[in-house]
Amino acid sequence: MTEPPTLLVTRRLPPAVEARARRDYAVRQREEDEPLSADALVALAEGAAGILCAPGDPLGAETIARLPASVRVLATFSVGTDHIAVAAARARGILVANTPEVLSVATAEIAMLLILMAARRASEGERLLREGRWTGWAPTQLMGVTLAGKRLGILGMGRIGRELARMARGFGMDIHYHNRTRLPPDQEAGAAYYPTPEAFLRATEVLSMHIPGGEATRKWLNAERIALLPRGAIVVNTGRGGTVDDAALVAALHSGHIRAAGLDVYDGEPHLFPGYLSAPNVTLLPHLGSATVETRDAMGFRALDNLDAVLKRGAPPPFEVR
């Protein structure tokens, strides 16, 4: 009987995912949840045919150059591949695969949650109660804004953006978007398209960001673009932390130009820009976008589908990153 391929699993995964991995592979499983060092990753990968990794794992070009020759595929438990030097892996003949199309609804739910919390000042209200400072109902206490009739500007109208648009219509919001290309009418579903970011931002009262990371979009939302938003706008980011200029957003929150913000992703996470901790009306979540049982199971199964294709059938992974 042929021995199953050795698989390095760099983090703890949902129980159902771990069970399937152990059924089909000789699993080398870490028990810790935090990212490991590059040296530790390289050492643990010795003899492994595949690595099931996750965001934060140090798979830059230098680490990939040191991986043992046995490694044939990197399957990441994520859609994003910012933690992997894909070109360096390709140069070594190592396939890279991700888990798209299964976390759109869950991430859109978090975006909608942040929009609601920012608009209705929910984080401020909870802190008031937890700190024992609430003295009872008052006519002008913590007045937010209603979402009905507000213009929701979706930056990046991909799968997540379209799911958010569907949810936001239920709250009576008017949908606007900016994309590299205009969507076909059936996907647009009546949303207003803006070919330039300037016109888009001027029309946006609630901005929800869903663009990929990388140098091309780094600090996309800077002071100049924040100034284009109407005074009192709300900013939400569930895409990539590096797309926001943190200092500029904090300054706009303090000045009142931005009414409120809701963030689930951060530049250099888990480290947080210190200014957010004292900024008025900002809701901070610890990257919960895909954190549902259903979604995380689906992500893990998709990662294993990628591994099965390469290591069991000698085929390309169904969700290869090129």
Give the active site residues.
Answer: 240, 269, 287
**How far is residue 174's CA from residue 121's CA, in Å, rounded to a whole number?**
21
Secondary structure letter of residue 217 according to DSSP: G
Q: Which two tokens stand for residue 246?
A: 């943190």
**How far is residue 98's CA from residue 244's CA, in Å, rounded to a whole number?**
24
CA-nearest of 49, 44, 40 to 6 is 49
Q: Which two tokens stand for residue 153?
A: 């500007």
- C-alpha 251: how far from chain center: 24
**How far is residue 160's CA from residue 105's CA, in Å, rounded to a whole number?**
7
- DSSP secondary structure letters along 254-294: HHTSEEEEEES--TTTTS--GGGGTSTTEEE-SS-TT-SHH
Amino acid 275 reads: G
Please give the C-alpha separations between residue 286 and each of 52, 110, 290, 295, in angstroms, as whole numbers. Answer: 22, 11, 11, 17
- C-alpha 132: how far from chain center: 34
CA within 13 Å, CB half, 154: 29
Please give the C-alpha separations between residue 255 and each of 137, 251, 258, 276, in angstroms, as whole numbers. Answer: 27, 6, 8, 14
Beta bridge partners of 177: 154, 193
**How far is residue 249's CA from residue 227's CA, in Å, rounded to a whole number?**
10
Please give the C-alpha separations between residue 222 and each of 75, 226, 229, 246, 273, in angstroms, as whole numbers. Answer: 33, 6, 11, 8, 15
